[in-house]
Amino acid sequence: MRVLTHMRVRLVAAAILVALAAMPAYTQVTVFTAALNGANERPTPTGSPATGSATVTLDEALNTLLVNETFSGLIGGVATGAHIHCCAPATGTAGVAVDFGPNGFPLGSTSGFYSHLFDLLNPISYSAGFLASQGGSVVTARNTVVAGMRAGNTYANIHDAQFPAGEIRGQLVATPEPETMGLLALGLVGLAGMLARRRQA
């Protein structure tokens, strides 16, 4: 019975290792989240009490970006623009990459909810300036945005008349982060190995 249990543990450990070896460097679908607030604005925090949250689902196989965003309490007037900016870390600023405005964002409101599925191979998904900076190539624009998101160098921002550079902002972060998944997998392998050693004792 002990031998049989030991073999089962070894089989589980082997299966985990095979699965890890077969996994690509990253999954095709990644969820990014951001908490939007005035303290995150750069180069100068706005001090705004407004808040927001964004969940952005990137599907690299389908070349889509599903954006769900809520915001409330803008004090600088109604929203005049909302975007994903690329590419800059949380301490920096970057130009508009993905433009929510032409795609149904509730401009003219101080609070609201937004949901839109972007086609990353459609030029209308990007600001004209960003597309031009990518040589006019929608494929290059897509690749730049995806690389920026994976590097943690994109952020969501909501603009209004008092804060034309943005009243609230949040850096998009992958959840869970790839490193977390790797640690979890290593932990499972380690657990399987520990159980095997206990069975041998």
Using CA atoms, how far apart are residues 145 and 67, in angstroms rounded to an integer? 14
Q: Given this model, what pLDDT does residue 180 score? A: 45
| Domain assignment of residue 135, yes or no | yes
| Domain assignment of residue 96, yes or no | yes
Using CA atoms, how far apart are residues 119 and 132, in angstroms rounded to an integer? 18
| Residue 65 belongs to domain spanning | 28-177
Domain total of the chain:
1
Is residue 23's pLDDT more than 60?
no
| Domain assignment of residue 1, yes or no | no
Structure confidence by residue, pLDDT tens digits, 72-98: 999 999 999 999 999 999 999 999 999
pTM for the predicted model, two decimal places: 0.76
| Domain assignment of residue 82, yes or no | yes
Helices (H), the chain: 2-22, 128-133, 138-150, 178-200
The pLDDT > 90 percentage for the chain reads 73
Which parts of 60-125 are beta strand (E)? 64-72, 79-86, 96-99, 112-119
User: Lowest-confidence range among 31-35, 160-164, 180-184?
Assistant: 180-184
| Domain assignment of residue 3, yes or no | no
| Domain assignment of residue 186, yes or no | no
| Domain assignment of residue 194, yes or no | no
Average pLDDT over residues 138-145: 98
Q: Given this model, what pLDDT does residue 176 score? A: 78
Q: Given this model, what pLDDT does residue 84 score? A: 98
| Domain assignment of residue 77, yes or no | yes
Angle CA(174)–CA(177)–CA(182) in degrees, nearest 5? 150
Is residue 177's pLDDT more than 80?
no
* Cα–Cα separations (whole angstroms), residue 100 to 55, 124, 129: 14, 10, 14
Q: Which two tokens stand for residue 110?
A: 């101080």
Using CA atoms, how far apart are residues 173 and 109, in angstroms rounded to an integer? 26
CATH number, domain containing residue 149: 2.60.40
